[in-house]
Structures are given as C-alpha cells and as structure tokens.
Amino acid sequence: WTRERFTMEESLSKGVREVFVRLYEEGWIYRGTRIVNWCPRDKTVLSDLEVKEEKAKDGKLYYLRYPVRRGEGETRGDGDFITVATTRPETMLGDTAVAVNPEDERYKNLIGSTINLPLTGRQIPIIADEYVESEFGTGAVKITPAHDPNDWEIGERHGLEKLVVMNDDATMNAAAGEDFNGLDRFAAREKVVEEFEKLGLLEKIEDYEVTLPHCERCKTVIEPLLSEQWFVKMDEMRDLALGLINEEGYPHFYPEVPHKKVYTTWLENLKDWTISRQLWWGHQIPAWYDKDGNVFVARAAEEAFEQAGTSELTQDQDVLDTWFSSALWPFSTLGWTGSGEGEKGREGERSSDLDVFYPTDVLVTGRDIIFLWVSRMVMTGMKFMGERPFDDVIIHGTVLDKNGQRMSKTKNNGIDPLDVFEKYGVDATRMALAGSATGVDFAWRDERVESFRNFANKIWNATRFCLMNADGTTNFSLSSGTTNFSLSDKWILSRLSKTSKAVNRALETYQFHEAVQLLYHFFWDDFCDWYIELKKDEITAGDQEATGLIVAILEQALRLLHPFMPFLTEELWQKLPGVSTGLHNPAYASAGQTIMLTSFPTGDDALIDEEAEREMSSVIELITKVRNVRAEMNIKSSDRLSIHVAADKQMQAVFAANDAQIKKLARADNIVLAESLEVPKASARAVLTGNAEIAVPLEGLIDFDKERARLNGQLEKLDVELQRLNGQLSNQNFVEKAPEEKVQELRDRKAEIESQQKTLTQNVEALN
RNA sequence: GCCGACUUAGCUCAGUGGUAGAGCACUCGCUUCACACGCGAUAGGUCACAAGUUCAAGUCUUGUAGUCGGCACCA
C-alpha cells in the first residue's frame, strides 16, 4: 500500500504534462477542427470508443425534393427536382451541395447545375463524387459538411462551405434561419418535414432501420458536429503497437483467441484519438492562449509565459480524456515524470521502481477496455519507455446475471458485491470468482458462492479438529519421522505434492479455475473425507507424531489456499502451533509473522509415491464397497459387520496393515483375510480391482431378491463396458494402428471385467 | 454487412484425439464425539444438428441452426 497511486496526484500529473508536451512538439498531438462525436446533453466531445451504437425504434428515411434551378432566379418546371433521402431532415438547413456518382446516367446532365435549397434561400451546387453509391437511396446525397463526417470529407475535396446550423445543445442556431433558430433538433426535424410537405416537396417517408450513436454515459443521441479539439495522431502510435504484436508477439493475450486478432484488427483500422473533453474533472490541457489565439503548449504556466513573452495568457479550459493519463499507468505509477527522477538506466543512481518493475509481468482486465486502456498503455510504453509495458494480458470473462444477461443499471439486474460479502464472506466470493475465471462469460449463481462458503466452513472445522489435540505440538515438518509413515501418511503426502505441482502449473498459465478445483478436491475429498477420518483415532488418542504430521500437512494446504482465501487462511495459520517467521521465505525472515510471506508450496518429487496411491485406492475401494452393501441392504449404521476378503498375499498385507482404519470407516468388528472366501450363503458380495473379492455375512438381514438385483446391476454396468471393449478390440484396424500400449490397456481392462463378471455371476448363482 | 466465440447432466459450468466430469438441485439412508454450511450411498448424458478426417472425435475440418459478443455502414 506504500505504492498506492492515483492518476490525479502530482507526480503522475507531471508525467501527463510531460507526455502531452513531447507529443505536441513532435507533431503527434495536434489541435484541429474536425467532425467529432458531440453529446448535446453533457456538452462534451467523446472519442469513438465512448459512443455506443444502438438500434433506433422508429427510424425513418425522408425523401426530399430539391428544385433544380433553370436560369437566374428561377426554377425549372414542376418535374425538375432532384430527390435526396435522409434520416436527419433538419440537417438540410446546413446543406452546401448535393452529390451524385459521376457515372450515374440519371444525373450526369445535372452535374454542375444549381439547386434552390428550400427554406433557406441559398443556392447550392450539384457535384460529382465517387463516394456516392448509385444503387443506394435515390443515388443523390445531400451534403452537410459541418454535421456529418463523410460529408465533411466530400466538402474538403470540393472546397465546399462548412455551414454550422446547430448550437452545442443541439438546438438550431441563427444560420439555420429565423424560423428554426432556437428549435431543438428533433422539433426542427418535424418542422422541416412539415414545411416540405406544404411546399409539395416531400416525396415520401419510409420506415427505415437505423442504428444511432449514443453517449455511453447519458444515452443521449450523439450529434456529429464540427468542432475544434485536441487529437492524438495515430499513425505512429498504431505502428508501435502493431510492430510489437506482429514482430515480437507482445502482449500475449490469455486466452489468445479471440483477443489477439480483435486487438490487431482494431489497431489496423485506427483513426485519430480525440483527447480533449469539455468536463470539469480531469487533467487540464497544458496549453495556453494569448489574446490573439496563439497557442503555447508547456509543462507549466511559467514556461508558457516565457514562450509567449507575456503572462497575459489563459489556459485551455478543457481537460484530457481520462484514458490519456491511464495510458501512462505502467510507468507513471513507478515514478516516471519525464524529468529524470526515478527513471530507468541512469548511471550512478540507485535502482528505482521503474528499473525493478518495468516491464511488468501481467495485466488482468476485462475485454471492454482492451482498446480504451490496454492498447494505449502499449503505445505510450513503446513510445516513452522504448519497450512493452507488460508481457501478458489476462482477459477474464464478464459476470452475467443469473439469466445470462449482462448486468446494467437500467435493467437493475446487478448484484452488490458488499451484499455477497455480507452473506457468504469475502473469501468465498473471491474463490468462487477465481473458480469461474476461464475467460468465458458466466452467469452469476449465489449457490456457487454458497458452496465455497461451505468450503470455508469445512476448512475452519478441519483446522479446529487438528488443533483440538495439538496442545504441546510444536515440531512439525513433512520430513520428520520419515521411517514411520503409514500408508495413509505416504498417500496424503503424495497427494499433497501432486496437488502442489498441479496448482503451480495451473497458475503459470493463469488457469485459476483449475487451481481452485484441485485445491477444493484435495482439501475436501483427500484431506477431510479420507485422511482425517483415517487418522482420527490416533489423533484423538493424543499421538504427538500423528498430530505433528497432520498440522504440517494442514499448514501446507493453508499456504496453497492463501491466494484464494486470504483472510481465512491467515486467521487459521496464525492459530497453528509452532508457526513462526522461520517459515517465511528467507527474504522476509525479519518481517512480522504472517502466512503472506511464506513460500508458496511447489511440491516435492521425493514425496510422490505411486505405490502408496495404488494401495490406498484398494483400501478406499474396499471401504466404499462395504458402505455400498450397507446402504443398499439398509443395514443400520449401529450394526457392526464382519468383512471377509479374498485377495492375493500382497493385498492381504495392505489390508492387514490398515485393519483398524478399515474397521472404523466400514463400521466392522472384524476382518477375515484369506486366499479364498468361505462364507455363508446369506452374504452380500462384491468384487474389487485386482481379482479380490469381499463378502459380508448378513444372517437374518439379507434380502436375497435385493442382493440379486444389486449384483445384477453391477453385472450390467460391466457388460456395457465389455461390449465397447470387444467392439474396439475386434476392430483389426484398431489393433494394428493404435499404439501398442493403448491396445494392451484395453486388453487388461477386458480381462479385469471378465474376471469380475465371473465372480459376480457365481455370487448370483450362489444365492439361488 | 464483416469478424469471432459459445451450444456437454434439471441449472451453472470444467474437459489435454483413447472408459464423459464438478458444484448445486434431485433420490435413499444417517444425532458416526471437526463440521447438518455435515457424513455415507445412488440416480441422472443422442456432448446442438449434419457430413468429413482418423484405428478412434465432446475434442480436428466443413456446413447448418440457435445464442451472445466485437467492428463497420447507415444518403
């Protein structure tokens, strides 16, 4: 927080003025009169990016007849009109020409003629311009250079007068004529149409689907208006950004599709950037004017006075587009002011933040500001730092409402994050969002946050359990007592290491949802549902070694979870016995004790134990099968069972070593291990992977029909899989062309299924 | 008009050419002493549609439909 920055503070403002002056001096910033996007309500100019196109409800196309003049002061006969079509009839008051395509046979003989422009008493020429498409409308276009960007360009080409007929609030001005002066643009539109009708010059009105530009902020229809503003020339800026992405591939977009292409295409078609705004809030433009209107661009008033040789100057009242200062963010926040302070690579100076941190690694943002912000940071970074501002850009999805609609104030379908925090907690919200960060838009679901609230509660309770018996436990380390590790210890350490490695891999490529899933399932399924349950007896009995180990594993898990659930994990970590600054990354050994400064676990290859994972799978499978028997046969949990297991010597040894844990979790009184089963007919049966078999004697409890149905259900499932395997294995092409490993894998699986089917079939027959 | 993405369980979404997954919801059972915000066991799929490539397609190619997004034009 010592580096908190705000673009309006002095240091950053200094950078803004520096950049403005330098770009002005190089001719990359200029002041000019152009057709701009004007919001008549906010009374400011807007950049193209702040204008949103929306379909108009009742668009109309008006066909207006302009009388063609025959001789001095008179028009031709009744039929001598040229008809133009327009969606904005009021702009005809500012027309200074009518244009037709030079090749259009209908109008060829009229080129060079003059029109008596109705309602104005003005006379305007008919000109020829390639821009006009003969097929569109009537093939004749009214030209209003001061109120339409395309018309303005035609006006430039033909040296037409640029007649401004509107005020800055979109009312008509005196140039529009006495009858229209002061009328709002839409009232003027109606009046123009009425007048044309009266004159018999309104040919027709057609319904017409039209999209209109709206002010992004206030939704008012934008008026294209001739206005003097400040612009950044984009030719060189665009080339800097295009060169970077085309030649060096920076920035890397995550996900690359579709953002890289959209970004590149936008750059290729870029027009100049309007940077002045008629607003109160912002960086005031560092330009001063003398009484004759001469411009002095300077870093400060004194510098302008010096240039002008007078202090009789007034500063430009306009401010800069907010994105102008934001465009400098990657270096202005690191101390760059252009004056040399804090800048890179200056010999003899101590290393500055700019030296250390620029270029940055990654920018995280939404796609709606790729053009507004990301592209401009790239441009100014290249221009003023000489290198890219960041390597990677993560574009995350947009949060939609529960119906998949974008949230908006007008629809009132937004959610208040503070309400969500209040209801489910900040950590749950954070993890729910991280778990949704796939780059794709996603619908907001309270239930999803709720599930992570439940997860947070799970972590809290698991920690509580570990701490209940941890009094006096101070010595914990994953490597302590290595020789005494039980199967479940080796298994959980292997799972922890694999999870750590996978989480790191996921984070390296910004797969946050993947990291969230890994951690959720490691903590809940592996650690809570299995490991804690397996170790419960040892821990509640006060086994110090077991407690030390479980605390060590918990401590690692909390570190892994910390970036996703910072408050909860810090709170719990502080409560763990034996935590100290000794666990910090060595660079922070002297800081106050906090989980924030511990190293992020990377996993330990030495702890990965495939054999332990295989053996543990067998134990889990055994317990699950017995639980299934219990559930399907409706055996009360208070009824203790006896479990008979037939397995090879190796598996017998595994089950024997975990006898106590199996009894506890399967709620059994004893386990009989042997090469083959010798049990009464009234037993429920199941098969395990690896040719093992179990039976649970249920004298007086078994329902033979139900057991038959249960076993047949399992047989059916196996049969479905077997059919598929047979299909593949009988395909000669598969056997010949698929990798040998894959073929062998299927053959092994087929053998496994056939063995299990054989056993299950015998079991069913034994029930008869 | 141009470009792009998406379409997988009831809902919201993951999914790396090789046995389709999660959370929530649903069904059944459980006062098992960390947690009912819980535990245990199930059920639920024509991976939008059609063709193609491949031994093998949710995954690659093409087309179609629908949904959404971006850009442009709009006399």
pLDDT in tens, A503-560: 999 999 999 999 999 999 999 999 999 999 999 999 999 888 899 999 999 999 999 9
> What is the distance in angstroms measured between the alpha-carbon CA of A450 and the sugar C1' of B38?
14
DSSP label at residue A221:
B
Residues 197-226 of chain A in contact with strand B via CB under 7 angstroms: 210-213
Which has more confidence, A481 or A261? A261
For residue A146, give Cα distances in angstroms to A162, A209, A224, A605: 5, 24, 8, 72
pLDDT in tens, A436-464: 888 889 999 999 999 999 999 999 999 99
Helix (H, G, I), strand (E, B) or coil at A732: helix
| Token output for A194 | 């009425």
Task: Report, as an integer, the average pLDDT of A28-41.
Answer: 94
Task: Report, as an integer, the average pLDDT of A684-710.
Answer: 89
Statement: the CB of A737 is under 7 Å from strand B: yes
> What is the distance in angstroms measured between the alpha-carbon CA of A522 and the sugar C1' of B42?
23
Q: Which of A125, A143, A142, A138 is nearest to A68 (CA)?
A: A125
By CB atoms closer than 10 A (0-12, 13-18, 19+), residue A699 is exposed
Per-residue confidence at A338, pLDDT binned at 50, 70, 90?
A: confident
Residue-averaged pLDDT of chain A? 91
Residues 554-613 of chain A in contact with strand B via CB under 7 angstroms: none
pLDDT in tens, A560-573: 999 999 999 999 99
CA dist A242 and A379 (Å) reads 9
Q: What is the pLDDT of residue A340?
A: 73
Residue A279 pLDDT > 60: yes
pLDDT in tens, A282-328: 999 999 999 999 999 999 999 999 999 999 999 999 999 999 999 99
Statement: the CB of A631 is under 7 Å from strand B: yes
Question: For the CA atoms of A653, A656, A662, A663, what is the dihedral angle to 10 degrees?
Answer: 160
Q: What is the pLDDT of residue A767?
A: 83
| Token output for A297 | 């661009």
By CB atoms closer than 10 A (0-12, 13-18, 19+), residue A582 is exposed
Per-residue confidence at A118, pLDDT binned at 50, 70, 90?
A: very high
Lowest mean pLDDT among A298-302, A494-498, A548-552, A724-728: A724-728
Q: What is the pLDDT of residue A474?
A: 66
By CB atoms closer than 10 A (0-12, 13-18, 19+), residue A605 is exposed
Q: At residue A240, what is the residue type?
A: L
CA dist A215 and A48 (Å) reads 10
Task: Report, as an integer, the average pLDDT of A54-74.
Answer: 81
Statement: the CB of A528 is under 7 Å from strand B: yes
Residue A333 pLDDT > 70: yes
Q: Where are the beta strands (DSSP E) in A178-271?
A: 202-207, 211-215, 223-232, 252-254
Residue A482 pLDDT > 70: no
ipTM of predicted complex:
0.95
CA dist A125 and A114 (Å) reads 4
With contact defined as beta carbons under 8 Å apart, do A313 and A289 qualify?
yes
CA dist A422 and A92 (Å) reads 58
With contact defined as beta carbons under 8 Å apart, do A639 and A701 qualify?
yes
Q: What is the pLDDT of residue A53?
A: 87
Residue A247 pLDDT > 80: yes
Residue with minimal CA–C1' distance to B33 is A540
Residue with minimal CA–C1' distance to B55 is A734
Q: Which of A765, A613, A617, A612 is nearest to A690 (CA)?
A: A617
